[in-house]
């Protein structure tokens, strides 16, 4: 029997909050970071289009187990809508499909915003990752097919008009999972009778990570100039945040090293003491500040669901 193949790369874990540049795909960015850090595993929490810049949280190693908790978090985008043209991709990449000489006033735009705040119904763009009969919508669109994409409810927590120009307007939006900013631009233009598309898009926040945590890709790439491998990797590792940072919204449980050992073996632990929580559908167990497990508290016990090395 052949021996199992040893994984390539280092078994490092943590979050890198990348400031993704324009004209760089999210998958391409993850591949570059995985290679730079010589990491065994890497993944991202929420795709950014190549024409968009800004926050792309990248998980390395065990942190990939916490990606779903970041995917579900709130996001903030700054974006510009250029009026007068609707495009096939709802951004600068696509072909012009509708055009108009009409331009909205600032009063027109401000009057529209309440219609797009709260729980709204939205149809994703034709060029999106939505699956239609098992195929990605963008693959069907590239083949020239126009498909019916069902509308869905998304949450827009805040929508602000930052400023207006003759042919464009600048906005900031705070929204929930699954919201397409390109769809907002398309629908604004249709409602205002002037058409519109995204001409710039930048993500500045993905809960729970703050804007000041972002690291420009160029700053990381510059470290390739360090010839000593160990020194170079240590300089890169200094940019990594702890895996547990992605779980700050969950209740936290401080445990002993002995309890941590039991959890890592897949066994529940008994919670004692007057202040011990009675029930939580999801909670985090930490020992010495390090993430040990995500699990459920029930019947006076913590039951691990995901265990971390």
- The tens digit of pLDDT for each residue in 210-268 reads 999 999 999 999 999 999 999 999 999 999 999 999 999 999 999 999 999 999 999 99
The better pLDDT of the pair 309, 131 is held by 309
H helices present in the chain, as ranges: 26-37, 67-71, 106-112, 137-142, 181-192, 217-221, 229-237, 257-264
Closest CA to 77 of 246, 202, 189: 202
- The tens digit of pLDDT for each residue in 167-205 reads 999 999 999 999 999 999 999 999 999 999 999 999 999
Asked whether the predicted pLDDT for residue 1 surpasses 80, the reply is no
Per residue, the 3-state secondary structure of 195-231, as one string, reads CEEEEEEEEEEECCECHHHCEEHHHHHHHHHCCCHHH
- Please provide the distance, in angstroms rounded to a whole number, between the alpha carbons at the two ends of the chain: 27
| Range name among 48-57, 132-141, 166-175 with the lowest pLDDT average | 132-141
Count of C-beta atoms within a 10 Å radius of residue 169 = 23
| Range name among 9-23, 135-149, 156-170 with the lowest pLDDT average | 135-149
How does residue 125 score in pLDDT terms, banded at 50, 70 and 90?
confident
Please give the distance of CA 149 from its chain centroid, rounded to a whole number: 22
Which residue numbers are catalytic?
Answer: 49
What does each C-alpha distance from 278 to 66, 233, 275 come to in angstroms? 24, 43, 9
Q: What is the pLDDT at residue 149?
A: 74
Q: What is the pLDDT at residue 14?
A: 96
Answer yes or no: pTM beyond 0.85: yes
């Amino acid at each position: 029997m052949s021996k199992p193949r040893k994984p390539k790369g280092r078994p490092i874990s943590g979050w890198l909050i990348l400031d993704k540049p324009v004209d760089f795909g999210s998958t391409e960015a993850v591949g570059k970071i995985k290679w730079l850090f010589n990491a065994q595993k890497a993944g991202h929490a929420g795709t950014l289009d190549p024409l968009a810049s800004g926050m792309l949280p990248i998980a390395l190693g065990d942190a990939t187990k916490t990606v779903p908790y970041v995917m579900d978090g709130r996001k903030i985008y700054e974006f510009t809508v250029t009026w007068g043209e609707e495009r096939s991709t709802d951004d600068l990449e696509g072909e012009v499909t509708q055009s108009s000489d009409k331009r909205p006033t600032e009063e027109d735009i401000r009057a529209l915003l309440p219609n797009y705040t709260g729980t709204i119904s939205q149809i994703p763009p034709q060029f999106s990752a939505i699956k239609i009969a098992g195929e990605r919508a963008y693959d069907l669109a590239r083949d020239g097919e126009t498909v019916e994409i069902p509308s869905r409810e998304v949450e827009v927590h805040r929508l602000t008009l930052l400023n207006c120009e003759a042919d464009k307007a600048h906005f900031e939006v705070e929204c929930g999972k699954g919201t397409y900013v390109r769809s907002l631009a398309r629908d604004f233009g249709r409602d205002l009778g002037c058409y519109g598309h995204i001409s710039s898009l930048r993500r500045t926040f993905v809960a729970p990570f703050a804007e000041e945590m972002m690291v420009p890709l160029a700053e990381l790439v510059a470290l390739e100039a360090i010839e000593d491998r160990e020194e170079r990797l240590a300089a890169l590792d200094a940019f990594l945040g702890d895996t547990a940072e992605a779980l700050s919204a969950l209740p936290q449980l401080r445990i002993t090293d002995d309890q941590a050992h039991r959890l890592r073996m897949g066994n529940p632990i008994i919670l004692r003491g007057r202040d011990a929580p009675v029930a939580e559908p999801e909670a985090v167990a930490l020992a010495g500040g390090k993430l040990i497990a995500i699990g459920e508290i029930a019947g006076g016990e913590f039951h691990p669901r995901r265990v971390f090395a």
